[in-house]
Structure 1
Amino acid sequence: MSPDQSPAQVTPGVGGSSAAARAVVVGILAAMAGLMFGLDTGVIAGALGFIGDEFHASARMQEWIVSSMMGAAALGSIMAGRISFRFGRRRALLGASLLFLAGALVCALAQSITMLIVGRIMLGIAVGIAAFAAPLYISEVTLEAVRGAMVSFYQLMVTLGIFLAYMTDSLLSYGGHWRWMLGLMAVPAALFCAGCLFLPDSPRWLMMRGEKSRASQVMRYLRADPVEADAEISDIAKELRKPGGNGFVLFRTDANFRRSVLLGVALQIMQQLTGINVLMYYAPKIFQAAQFGVSASTWATALIGLINMAATGFAIAFIDRWGRRPLLILSCAVMTFAMLAAGGLMAAGGDSTSHDMGMVGALLLFVAGFAIGAGPLVWTLCSEIQPLRGRDFGIACSTFTNWSANWLISNVFLSVLATLGEARTFWVFAAMNGLFIVITLAYVPETRGVSLEEIEARLMAGRRLRDLGR
């Protein structure tokens, strides 16, 4: 099978009971983008100290090493919209996998900070493209009954990647083997690249390209009932017949579309302001500030990765049962409490075992709170609320916002920590999580069990944002 062929082209007209299983497998293959995202996000936490020692990097330079990937990811997310629209979601993921592979090798072989940052920029562009294309692709090929779980599976793969990176860092930290930490990322990158070759094109993207015959073929490949597949194709065609231009034209001319774009942007900003990524990037430094030793800090960071992964599994199990809004509100409430507790422990100070365990408990509770809601649900909602004609543009805007905010926060975190102190920094994040609850109550819709076409129809009819779903 050539890279330009999809499985549906190789096996035309395939239907039957195995189609649902095929759709799940396709979603899992696409979600490997999340594994790469998590690996490249998490690995720097353990490697950073050794890199700083070898290259005599200041704290400010270490901020640039970390944040260069985030800035490049913002650039990649802008590129992703055009790439995904023109070449398709599958080819966007394939291109990202090649960049993951090349970036990992450049980082592992870096002989200077400049070369290391170049490798991190390559990884960042790959992350930006993958973070855009994977949730979009998964949302377009899966049934609405399991769409939330499948998009959230992408986030589970992110957390698995972070956990594996933390474990690798912990095991290799005894010898200071930071090059192996970074270079081992090339192995899953190669596997992801191979997996992308077996993905079919998104039927919704094919419909936008005017290829109805191929779109019907792929949809029948992914749906157990041919009648259901044909009805879904008819709904997509109906939405595409509505007047309007491309995403940017629609953004300029349609106030309803602007509302969905701005909601996606707001959700991504709030996700970053929870404080999750500074904890992921700088966890060892945070634990050391709480009087942990270097080795204990590394293993405590690995424990964070494990809790993150386990709690995301909980979210996958309940996202299509409980719904998006209840989980998101619960998530923000838990994070608010955890940040308040962490700030209080930092303010109280002390180096007793009970203090250290309390700090670990507060941060683990925060990570669990993030993983059951704010982590997977923001990506799920951003992939659901955009109309088909403007979906590439809308998700590009929200993904760009995520990485821009991520870059800004990671770039200044150590400086802010030094200025405000640990306690006040955690309390600021607590306030942001409280604000996230208010935004959720006011604007976030409940999209559980609602088709993308129904959500679009309600949006374009002018319904309130929180009423787009159930």
Structure 2
Amino acid sequence: MHLTTSPKTSRLAIIVGIAAATVGVIYGYDSSNIGGAMLYIAAEFSLTVEQQQLVTTTVVVGEIVGALAGGTIANRFGRKPTMVAVAVTFTLFSLLCGLAPSLVVLIIARFLLGLTIGVSVVVVPVFVAESAPTHARGAFLVMYQVATVSGIILGYLAAMALAPSESWRWMLALAAIPGIIVTLLLLRLPDTARWYVMKGRPDDARRTLERIEGTNVDVDKELESITASFRTGRKGGWRDLVRGPYLRATIFVVGLGFFVQITGINAIVYYSPRIFEAMGFTEDTVKLGLSALVQFASLIAVVIALLVIDRMGRRPVLLTGIGIMVLANALLVTVFLIGGGEFAGVLTALGFAGLVLFTAGFAFGFGSLVWVYAGEAMPAHLRSIGASVMLTSNLIANVIVGGVFLTLLTQLGGSGTFIVFGILAVAAFAFVFTLAPETKGRPLEDIETYWQNGGRWEPIER
């Protein structure tokens, strides 16, 4: 996966990347298992469409609160302890979801689950960006999306296996298993050298750099550069995000986070079974199986992104992915406009292809790059807070999509819904083209200079 080529990537660096990124499994599993479980939760509790949307999006409301607090928590207690706490509490709250005796308890449990996930989506990209060697940082960050998509697939497959028995409680409670595995993996890791420097622990920082970077860098020079970035940068505060040279950076991360979700990907993840139902499929196992198959295509796309991200660069990968989403929306609009009739079989196949293209485009572009930019887009003293702002914006858009998608699908039909998403994808393309920095091959400490120069890089010294 391009992680062991020259310059050589240390064994610990690989373990750090894999273990930290694997936190994405629990995020992905929770995103998809509710899609299968909702088929039976709705029947058991006699839920209206609005109540179904409430159960689905309550976890995202919790994620927003968690994401707002995540940067501060990660700065105070450390990246690693925060991630361990996330994995442990995710395990406990997943079990509570499965055991919920009433709708009220289920909603409370999903809110608490969202709190833990919200913290994780902030701290993991920061941890990986600060731990990964520069030459492979993009691939390490994309690994988080690989894990997330893998978790989504596992969620659909678990739901498909349990569909004949309609065991929605098991669908939700099984999320505890990846939570336990992730906890055990994380316990082996050190914290990041940059966090140790921030806390005045240079000896720990040096040991971590030596183990992560090996002979690839001059450790003394690297440690001096990291120390200088914290010494010259002000202590990160929320007001700094809207002042001076960093306002442009804030606009970028907030806008990118919002476009990632408002273009509709989680409508596909949460409600794939319902979309396939609208296309004419009736068997629950078929709807869930097709949903998993769509995500397999997404997994292939994100693996390709992992392999090319440090060659092509961030901007080309992101713009290509958004362009594919625009084309996919056009195909889905056409399918729903034409409708059934004598072309029903062909249209169903094209509709499935449209969903595959949409999710693959998202995974290649937005899905991969959101974590890259969450870890790379802000200077050291604002990195955790910037990631909080970016992913909070992302989650607010997630709430909007999750809360209105079924209503849009009911009132506007498939064609009207995907016209809206198509327009938003075009707007996202224009936004990224205008503001996204190219961070390939740049040390994290250089990003501060980029924003101070009004969005321009200084030439790389050869």
TM normalised by structure 2 equals 0.94
Determine if the alignment matches structure 1 residue 208 to structure 2 residue 208: no
> Equivalents in 1 of 2:104, 2:208: separation in Å?
45
Identify the match of residue 429 of structure 1 among 421, 425, 434.
421
- 376, 382, 404: which one aligns with 1:412: 404
Indicate if the aligned counterparts of 2:97 and 2:169 stay in contact, CA closer than 8 A: yes
Any conservation in 2 of the 1:446–1:468 contact (CA below 8 Å)?
A: no
* Contact 2:133 2:212 (8 Å CA) reproduced: no
Residue 258 (structure 1) shift: 2.1
Identity %: 31
The residue aligned with 1:33 is 23
Alpha-carbon separation, structure 1, partners of 2:39 and 2:15: 39
Where do residues 119-198 of structure 1 align in structure 2 (5 Å cutoff)? 119-198=109-188
Q: Which amino acid aligns with 1:381?
A: Y
Distance in 1 of aligned mates of 2:417 and 2:444: 39
Residue-pair matches, total: 451
Tell whether the 8 Å contact from 1:290 to 1:356 is kept in structure 2 after alignment.
yes
Indicate which of 272, 282, 299 corresponds to 2:271.
282
* 1:319 matched residue in structure 2: 309
SS at match of 1:241: helix
Which of 211, 214, 218 is matched with 1:224 structurally? 214
Q: Deviations over 1:56-107 (max 9, x none)?
A: 1111101000000111000000121111010011111011111211111001
In the alignment, structure 1 residue 75 sits paired with structure 2 residue 65: yes
AA in 2 matched with 1:451: P
Where 1:446 maps in the other structure, the secondary structure is: coil
Tell me how far apart the structure 2 counterparts of residues 19 and 326 of structure 1 sit (CA, whole Å). Answer: 25
Residue of structure 2 equivalent to 1:377: 369
* Cα offset, 1:419, TM superposition: 2.2
2:439 to 447, 456, 461: 447
Q: Is the 8 A contact 1:151 1:380 kept in 2?
A: yes
Give the secondary-structure state (helix, strand or coil) at the position aligned to 1:292: coil
Cα deviation for residue 109 of structure 1 reads: 0.5
Given that residues 314 and 372 in structure 1 are in contact (C-alpha distance below 8 angstroms), is that contact kept between their aligned partners in structure 2? yes
C-alpha separation between the residues in 2 aligned to 1:377 and 1:329? 10
Give distance in 1, aligned partners of 2:262 and 2:148: 19
In 1, Cα distance between equivalents of 2:239 and 2:199: 17
The aligned counterpart of 2:230 is 240
| SS of corresponding position for 1:111 | coil
SS of structure 2 residue aligned to 1:407: helix
Kindly indicate whether the alpha-carbon contact (under 8 Å) linking 1:247 and 1:391 is maintained by their aligned counterparts in 2.
no
Deviation at 1:226, TM superposition (A): 7.8
1:114-163 residue CA offsets vs partner (Å, 9 max, x unmatched): 11111211211111011111111000001111100000000100000001
Q: Check conservation: 1:166, 1:301, Cα contact below 8 A.
A: yes
For 1:320 and 1:180, the matched residues in 2 are separated by 40
| Equivalence for 1:268 | 257
In the superposition, relative to structure 1, how do residues 289 and 201 fare at CA in structure 2: closer, same or farther (>3 Å)?
same
**Amino acid of the residue matched to residue 273 of structure 2?**
P
Q: d(CA) in 1 for partners of 2:303 and 2:80?
A: 25
Correspondence for 1:8? none
Write out the 4+ residue segments of structure 1 that deviate beyond 3 Å after TM superposition. 467-470
User: Are residue 257 (structure 1) and residue 246 (structure 2) matched?
Assistant: yes
Amino acid at match of 2:193: P
Whole-Å separation in 2 of the counterparts to 1:243 and 1:445: 20
Contact 2:138–2:309 (Cα < 8 Å) also in 1: yes
* Other-structure match for 2:3: none
Structure 2: gaps of 5 or more residues: 1-6
Structure 2 distance, partners of 1:458, 1:414, is 42
Instruction: Determine if contact 1:89/1:202 at 8 Å carries over to the other structure.
Output: yes
Q: Deviations over 1:183-218 (max 9, x none)?
A: 111111111111221111111011111111111111
Residues 343 and 103 (structure 1), Cα distance of their counterparts in 2 relative to 1, 3 Å cut = same
Indicate the SS of the match to 1:210.
coil
Which secondary structure does the structure 2 equivalent of 1:220 belong to?
Answer: helix
CA distance in 2, matches of 1:376, 1:117: 30
Would the alpha carbon gap of residues 243 and 23 (structure 1) be closer, same or farther in structure 2, given more than 3 Å must change? closer
Where 2:439 maps in the other structure, the secondary structure is coil
Aligned match of 2:291: 301
- The one-letter code matched in structure 1 to 2:248 is R
Q: Write the distance in 1 (CA, Å) between the matches of 2:76 and 2:459.
A: 30
Q: What is the correspondence of 1:105-124 to structure 2 with a 5 Å cutoff?
A: 105-124=95-114
> 3-state DSSP class of the match of 2:94?
helix
Provide closer, same or farther for how the CA distance between residues 377 and 249 of structure 1 changes in structure 2, counting only shifts above 3 A: same
Is the 1:220–1:226 Cα contact (8 Å) retained in structure 2? no
- The equivalent of 1:389 in structure 2 is 381
Quick check: 2:144–2:371 contact (8 Å CA) kept in 1? no
1:223-249 residue CA offsets vs partner (Å, 9 max, x unmatched): 112852222111111111215232324
Q: With the length of structure 1 as denominator, give the TM-score of the two structures.
A: 0.93
Q: d(CA) in 1 for partners of 2:47 and 2:239?
A: 46
Question: Cα–Cα, structure 1 residues 429 and 226, in superposed 2: closer, same or farther, change >3 Å?
Answer: closer
* 1:13-52 per-position Cα deviation (integer Å, ceiling 9, x unaligned): xxxx997121111111111110110011110011101001
Instruction: Assess if the C-alpha contact under 8 Å between 1:102 and 1:122 holds in 2.
Output: no
- What does 1:330-409 align with in structure 2 at a 5 Å threshold? 330-350=320-340, 352-409=344-401
Q: What SS does structure 2 have at the residue aligned with 1:434? A: helix
Which runs of 5 or more structure 1 residues have no equivalent in the other structure? 1-16
Residues 360-417 of structure 1, C-alpha deviations (whole Å, 9 max, x = no match): 0111011111111111112201210101011111111111111111112101111122
